[in-house]
């Protein structure tokens, strides 16, 4: 490659006024999208194909627009975000797919991004994408193979095209490299978060002050993990068999909420407030007598009155345990509103002029879904994950914000993480992640077949097709209720295998 490394001083950029900033954002978003389109198109079509050619022309046009603003156009990824000429691009609601795909490809290439210099030729771009399309975009553990691929790209020496090195912007030590390491790290973060939530709630239950600094760090680690790859933490939300599910529930709600917030394009600061607020949405329940919380029989009207007070108690517990700042303020509002419905019904029955807060609307969805799937004593009987989604949808528009419900469905997919599926290949598998390209076809960990448990469980992508490209290799037959057979899915989720 002939360009200087990306880490040298940036080319002079014109004085930043609002118009310039908007132009940079627009070009950056278009470049990211067009890079994604090129990566996909080069995989689907031959390089003399008209469609491929048209997309390559579009890419050139986008680059030209970039060169009018600066003479080196850079697109690179770090910690889940994309940067255009060192300016972070906003996350777009419909941009998740493109973001994820391009990031995964870059990671496989062992690169952080691309840099294009003014005058870059069509032939060089063509060569770049012809090489990219030969890479398997799925995450791999094979560091040696990543290095090999990276070296191959470097040796192409494409004029006016450079590869940016990988960059790690967040805190907390070295980045995990392999999938196994990433899963381990996610598990550690998750269980630490559950532990921290437990400690904080226990302190607040006895009216002791809480160290918000530590809690914020926990939330930041959740966010960093989700930014890096949400699938690992979402997988862990399927764990339900905690002795005291309260704390895991609060972290699950936090994870769901943060993921939704990220997809909406929230800033890190807002994500931190959202994650923090979600953890404490039910803190008022520390004021409900334990025997009432665990009461197996139906609640009386007096019981319900006590239960319905918990949003108000939540506000008071939060305000007395922590110094009021933006995080605590959010938490207070969410604690108060998370049982208030979009149509104005719900509780507590205190009239306020303020609209139902966005964060409350997000947490309400996450709380409803996780509560429904946790099988807690005073809830209805346990229902499966995707049945819970159907329930959620039925309440959309009345209880829940419809655009947020749709967003949530997109995140979880038809078969949310933890769903047990029987495949037409005669295999039993647990969904470990949604497939954003096709929410009907998740990624599944195979655990058993008619011969029994598989010796080494593997992960299969249900979008995978046979050699002809016409038929899917595997299809979902139906969902299996694990409770019916006493299958503990947590042991498979917690397994270290990749």
Partner 1 sequence: MLTETKARYPLAVSDFLTSLCRGLKTSVLYPPTSTIPSEFKRICWDKLQSALSDSTRVDLEVTRQNILTGGDIVYKSTPGEVSLSETLHRDGVRTIRIYPSISRDEFECLFDRLLAVYSRRESKDDIVNLFWEAGFESIEYEAVDSFVPAELSPAAGEVTLDDNAIGNIVKSEGEQPEAKSESESPATRDGVKFPEVFGSVQTVSEDEKAAVSESLEHDQEGSIELVSVDLLFDIAAAEQDYHEFLKVLDNIDNVFNRLLKAEFFPLLIYLMRKFRDSAADWKESSRQRSERVRESYHRCGDRIRISQITQILNRSEHENIEQVRSYLEELDSSALAQLVWMLGELKHYPARKLVCDLVVAMGRKRPEIVASGIYDSRWYVARNAAMILGEIGSEKSIPDLRKASEHEDERVRWEATISLSGFDTDAALEHLARLVNDPSERIRRQATKRLTERRFKPAFDAILSFIESESFGLVTPAEQRELFRALGATGADRALDYLKKKATKRSLFGGGASRHQRELAVGAMAELEDEESYRLLKEWTTKKGELGEWARNSLAKRDRVRMKTDESR
> Quick check: bond before 47 cis, omega within 30?
no
What minimum distance in Å lies between the beta carbon of 50 and partner 1? Answer: 26
The tokens for 32 are: 């990211």
Return the number of the residue (249 or 285) whose C-beta is nearest partner 1.
Answer: 249
Which residue, chain included where needed, has tokens 């520390």? 286
What minimum distance in Å lies between the beta carbon of 122 and partner 1? Answer: 28
Task: Of 76, 101, 106, give the one whose Cα is nearest residue 88.
Answer: 76
**What is the torsion angle, in degrees rounded to the nearest 10, for the CA atoms of residue 21, residue 24, residue 28 and residue 31?**
160
What minimum distance in Å lies between the beta carbon of 147 and partner 1? Answer: 21
Query: How far is CA 187 from each of CA 224, 231, 232, 483, 491, rounded to the nearest angstrom?
Result: 13, 12, 8, 24, 13
Task: State the sign of the Cα–Cα–Cα–Cα dihedral 310, 379, 365, 189.
Answer: positive
Return the number of the residue (52 or 245) whose C-beta is nearest partner 1.
Answer: 245
What minimum distance in Å lies between the beta carbon of 19 and partner 1? Answer: 17
Return the number of the residue (127 or 425) whose C-beta is nearest partner 1.
Answer: 425
What minimum distance in Å lies between the beta carbon of 490 and partner 1? Answer: 5
What minimum distance in Å lies between the beta carbon of 142 and partner 1? Answer: 26
Measured distance CA(39)–CA(16) in Å, rounded: 32
What minimum distance in Å lies between the beta carbon of 263 and partner 1? Answer: 9
Q: What angle do CA 414, 419, 201 make, to 5 degrees?
A: 105
Measured distance CA(61)–CA(64) in Å, rounded: 5
Measured distance CA(70)–CA(27) in Å, rounded: 11
DSSP labels, 287-298: GS-HHHHT--S-
Measured distance CA(373)–CA(384) in Å, rounded: 6
Query: How far is CA 44 from each of CA 362, 411, 442, rounded to the nearest angstrom?
Result: 37, 26, 21
What minimum distance in Å lies between the beta carbon of 467 and partner 1? Answer: 20
Measured distance CA(325)–CA(323) in Å, rounded: 6
Return the number of the residue (7 or 468) whose C-beta is nearest partner 1.
Answer: 7
Return the number of the residue (288 or 439) whose C-beta is nearest partner 1.
Answer: 439
Task: State the sign of the Cα–Cα–Cα–Cα dihedral 378, 433, 357, 195.
Answer: positive
Return the number of the residue (174 or 297) whose C-beta is nearest partner 1.
Answer: 174
What minimum distance in Å lies between the beta carbon of 234 and partner 1? Answer: 16
| Three-state DSSP state, 291 | helix
Task: Of 140, 153, 56, give the one whose Cα is nearest residue 112.
Answer: 153
268-279 and 326-337 helices, crossing angle to 10°: 50
What minimum distance in Å lies between the beta carbon of 496 and partner 1? Answer: 14
Q: Give the H/E segment covering residue 430.
A: strand 427-433
Other beta carbons within 10 Å of 26: 13
Task: Of 293, 270, 291, 273, give the one whose Cα is nearest residue 282.
Answer: 293
Q: Under a CB-based contact definition with an 8 Å cutoff, are residues 282 and 170 in contact?
A: no
Query: How far is CA 48 from each of CA 56, 125, 362, 469, rounded to the nearest angstrom?
Result: 11, 14, 47, 21
Return the number of the residue (268 or 339) whose C-beta is nearest partner 1.
Answer: 268
What minimum distance in Å lies between the beta carbon of 192 and partner 1? Answer: 5
Return the number of the residue (151 or 324) whose C-beta is nearest partner 1.
Answer: 324
Task: Of 363, 273, 286, 358, give the one whose Cα is nearest residue 321.
Answer: 286
Return the number of the residue (149 or 356) whose C-beta is nearest partner 1.
Answer: 356
What minimum distance in Å lies between the beta carbon of 239 and partner 1? Answer: 5
Return the number of the residue (204 or 447) whose C-beta is nearest partner 1.
Answer: 447
Return the number of the residue (49 or 475) whose C-beta is nearest partner 1.
Answer: 475
Return the number of the residue (132 or 442) whose C-beta is nearest partner 1.
Answer: 442
């Amino acid at each position: 490659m002939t360009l200087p490394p990306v880490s040298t001083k940036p080319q002079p950029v014109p004085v930043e006024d609002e118009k310039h900033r908007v132009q940079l954002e627009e070009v950056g978003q278009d470049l990211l999208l067009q890079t994604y389109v090129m990566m996909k198109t080069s995989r689907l079509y031959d390089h003399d194909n008209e469609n491929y050619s048209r997309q390559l022309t579009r890419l050139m046009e986008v680059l030209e627009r970039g060169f009018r603003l600066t003479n080196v156009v850079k697109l690179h990824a770090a910690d889940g975000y994309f940067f255009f000429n060192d300016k972070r691009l906003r996350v777009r609601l419909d941009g998740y797919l493109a973001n994820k795909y391009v990031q995964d490809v870059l990671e496989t290439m062992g690169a952080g991004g691309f840099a294009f210099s003014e005058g870059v030729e069509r032939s060089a771009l063509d060569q770049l994408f012809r090489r990219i399309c030969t890479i398997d975009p799925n995450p791999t553990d094979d560091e040696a193979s990543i290095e090999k691929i990276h070296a191959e790209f470097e040796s192409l020496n494409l004029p006016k095209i450079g590869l940016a090195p990988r960059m790690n912007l967040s805190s907390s030590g070295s980045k995990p490299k392999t999938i196994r390491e990433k899963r381990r790290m996610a598990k550690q973060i998750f269980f630490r978060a559950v532990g921290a939530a437990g400690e904080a709630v226990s302190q607040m239950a006895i009216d002791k002050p809480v160290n918000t600094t530590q809690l914020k760090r926990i939330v930041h680690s959740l966010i960093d993990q989700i930014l890096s790859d949400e699938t690992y933490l979402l997988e862990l939300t399927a764990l339900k068999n905690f002795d005291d599910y309260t704390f895991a529930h609060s972290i699950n709600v936090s994870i769901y909420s943060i993921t939704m917030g990220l997809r909406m394009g929230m800033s890190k600061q807002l994500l931190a407030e959202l994650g923090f607020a979600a953890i404490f949405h039910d803190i008022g329940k520390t004021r409900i007598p334990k025997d009432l919380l665990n009461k197996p029989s139906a609640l009386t009207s007096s019981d319900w009155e006590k239960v319905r007070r918990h949003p108000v108690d939540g506000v008071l517990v939060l305000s007395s345990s922590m110094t009021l700042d933006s995080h605590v303020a959010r938490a207070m509002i969410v604690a108060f509103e998370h049982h208030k419905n979009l149509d104005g019904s719900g509780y507590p029955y205190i009239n306020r002029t303020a609209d139902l807060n966005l964060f409350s609307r997000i947490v309400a969805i996450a709380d409803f879904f996780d509560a429904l799937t946790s099988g807690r004593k005073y809830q209805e009987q346990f229902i499966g994950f995707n049945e819970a989604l159907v329930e959620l949808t039925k309440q959309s528009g009345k209880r829940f914000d419809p655009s947020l419900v749709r967003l949530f469905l997109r995140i979880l997919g038809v078969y949310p993480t933890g769903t047990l599926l029987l495949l037409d290949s005669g295999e039993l598998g647990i969904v470990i992640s949604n497939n954003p390209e096709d929410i009907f076809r998740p990624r599944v960990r195979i655990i058993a077949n008619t011969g029994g448990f598989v010796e080494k469980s593997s992960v299969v992508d249900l979008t995978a097709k046979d050699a002809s490209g016409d038929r899917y290799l595997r299809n979902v037959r139906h969902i299996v209720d694990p409770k019916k057979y006493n299958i503990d899915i947590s042991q498979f989720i917690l397994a270290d295998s990749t």
